[in-house]
Chains A and B, each alone.
Chain A
Amino acid sequence: MNFATWLRQPENWVFLLIGSAVGASAIRVVTSKNVVHAALYLVATLGGSAALFLLLSAEFVAWVLVLVYIGAVIVLFLFGIMITKAPLGREASLDNDRKGIAALTSGALFVLLAWASLLAFGSREIQAVGEGTSTALIGEALLTRFAVPFEVVSFVLLAALIGGITLARKDLTPKEEEEGGAV
């Protein structure tokens, strides 16, 4: 199909709009001079990708993304930025001096991935979906076919929780003087 017929479908206008917002926000995440702005541009990127999930009828995953990623992970990032006193405000030296070769590497990676997917899938189309994926289907899949990975992921979260608390808590000071006085 050529570009004109592609553009006539309304979901492709929406994709162009949201996709360009996502791409622009992603580039601003890595080129912004302000650390808090970079985190907020990541919020825009993730929100746009949630909208793309809705376009692809993955409704449960879209809202899980908004809740978990934007609602919790980005807040955690902002805490981390504040606590580690990342240079707030404009700072010229947020990047190291390897920008040229990094741009070359990431450009080559993008060209390779795009060329490989064009070669593999050509202009294969996604059939328009009538209704969203039901949450009941995802729940049934998680508890029957994917029960073991589900439990393993619970263990991963538990380990992350315990590890995070152990790493980040303050050292407990021994109360030796108090005990010496009491005895």
Chain B
Amino acid sequence: MILNQFLILAALLFSVGVYGLLVRRNAVMVLLAVELMLAGVNINLIAFEATIRSALAVGQIFTIFVITVAAAEVGIGLSIVLMIFRNRSSANIDELNLMKW
């Protein structure tokens, strides 16, 4: 197995996530695209861990932290989307321009 095959797959996932972040109008779909980016990062970390094979499995520990923080972030993000939806009856992020000058 070549290291770059995993890195290029992770780069593909990350770029597809960036595309989804820029294009989607619904707030929940934007969060889905952010999850795609984090999945790409996880593949990267595990591939590097398999290459350098460190004594304490550092790459895998970092991946566990990324998964945990992503879960917390999704919880808070969806609560915020829920509050926005309660106040405006729409989760369309194009309409959130109250702070725009």
User: What per-residue 1/0 map shows which CB atoms of A46-60 lie under 8 Å from chain B?
Assistant: 100100110111101
Q: Which of B4, B46, B65 touches A58 (beta carbons < 8 Å)?
A: B46
Check A56–B46 contact: CB distance below 8 A. yes
For the complex, give the distance between the alpha carbons of A114 and B7 in Å: 7
Q: Chain B contact residues: over half helix, strand or loop, or mixed? A: helix
Check A110–B15 contact: CB distance below 8 A. yes
Does B51 sit at the interface, judged by CB under 8 A?
Answer: yes
| Interface size of A as a range | 35 or more
Check A61–B3 contact: CB distance below 8 A. no
Count chain B CB atoms within 10 A of each CB in A11, A23, A29, A42 and give the residue with the most.
Answer: A29
| Interface size of B as a range | 35 or more
Check A164–B35 contact: CB distance below 8 A. no
Q: Which of B64, B68, B76, B81 touches A163 (beta carbons < 8 Å)?
A: B76
Shortest distance in angstroms between A126's beta carbon and chain B's nearest beta carbon? 5
Does A17 sit at the interface, judged by CB under 8 A?
Answer: no
Near A by CB (< 8 A), chain B positions 59-91 give 59-61, 63-65, 67-76, 78-83, 85, 91
Check B82–A80 contact: CB distance below 8 A. yes
Check A106–B15 contact: CB distance below 8 A. yes
Shortest distance in angstroms between A32's beta carbon and chain B's nearest beta carbon? 9
Check B32–A29 contact: CB distance below 8 A. yes
Taking Cβ atoms with an 8 Å cutoff, the residues of B that contact A are: 1-9, 11-20, 22-29, 31-33, 35-36, 39, 42-43, 46-47, 49-51, 53, 56-61, 63-65, 67-76, 78-83, 85, 91, 94
List 18 extra interface pairs beyond A19-B5, A117-B4, A156-B68, CB under 8 A: A12-B5, A26-B12, A29-B16, A29-B32, A30-B24, A35-B29, A38-B32, A56-B50, A69-B70, A77-B32, A102-B19, A105-B19, A113-B8, A125-B2, A138-B61, A163-B76, A164-B79, A167-B83
